[in-house]
Amino acid sequence: MELILNFKYIALPVIIIWIIGVILSLFSDKKLIVNIGNAFVLLGIFSLSIFISILWIKLERAPMRTLGETRLWYSLFLSIIGTIMYYKWKVKWSITFSILLSILFLAVNLIHPENFQKTLMPALQSYWFVPHVIVYIFAYAILGAATLLAIKGLILAYKKRFDNIIITYADNLVYIGFSFLTFGLLFGALWAKEAWGSYWTWDPKETWSFITWLLYLLYIHYRYFNRKAEKTPLWLLSLAFLFLMICWFGINYLPTAANSVHTYSQG
């Protein structure tokens, strides 16, 4: 069991399996080879799911306390979302980019290994903790996939080969991601009330999360009133994701983190 819980013994094989899967899927037009590549991708997702499940049981708590643990969930969700996009919309590069980004987050965890402690501080011992974190990380993954579409759209736009279907896909992902982001915000307020006695205190983390939420709301409204716009909404989507990343872990490295009650780990 201890060997299984050693992160590097899981992360390295998953990364290798995913790289093989991406190479087979990306550089072959033969259906059999592509299917084998996709099978490798699914095997990596399955392996990471099993690791997180075992970790949850072993820690006797949801593995969502540290940044490293949330990165595990993000890698899992993003790889699943990229795979669903591939099968639903037949967007071949979506699985490639989502898997490569998932690999990046696993690699960050390898560089900064976590200490998987069992103890939760009192503020995290709330029944709102798990739904708040898991809803937020799922929203981050969905919106991360939308950002990949935005980047792809910008590249094509500047090459004068823009395809409007890309921004339509991005819209669909943003609608879903924004819904979960809103639930995360509400769950967080309920959690804050229970943990600190107030729904909202304009803590640095809360402020950045609210700004991020507003940016995605701005994107939705901009798209509603400017259906033919191309580059501006895609840049707006990319900017919103940059703020999302700052809200997630960038805030921990800002001077204002010293005043935040939401800083639990620098990992």
Choose among 249, 6, 262: nearest CA to 116: 6
29-69 pLDDT, tens per residue? 888 999 999 999 999 999 999 999 998 998 888 888 788 88
240, with CB counted inside 10 A (0-12, 13-18, 19+), is: buried
State what percent of residues in the chain have pLDDT above 90: 53
Helix, strand, coil share (%) of the chain residues, nearest 5: 80, 0, 20
CA 254 vs. chain centroid, Å, equals: 21
- Dist. CA 168–CA 228, nearest whole Å: 11
Distance, CA of 86 to CA of 146 (rounded, Å):
13
Residue 80, pLDDT above cutoff 80: yes
pLDDT digits (tens, 9 = 90+) for 205-254: 889 999 999 999 999 999 999 998 989 999 999 999 999 999 888 787 77
Radius of gyration over alpha carbons of the chain, in Å?
19
Residues 6+ apart with CB under 8 A from 60: 118
Q: Which of 143-152, 154-163, 253-262 has the lowest mean pLDDT?
A: 253-262
What's the mean per-residue pLDDT of the chain?
A: 87
The tokens of 220 are what? 């939705």
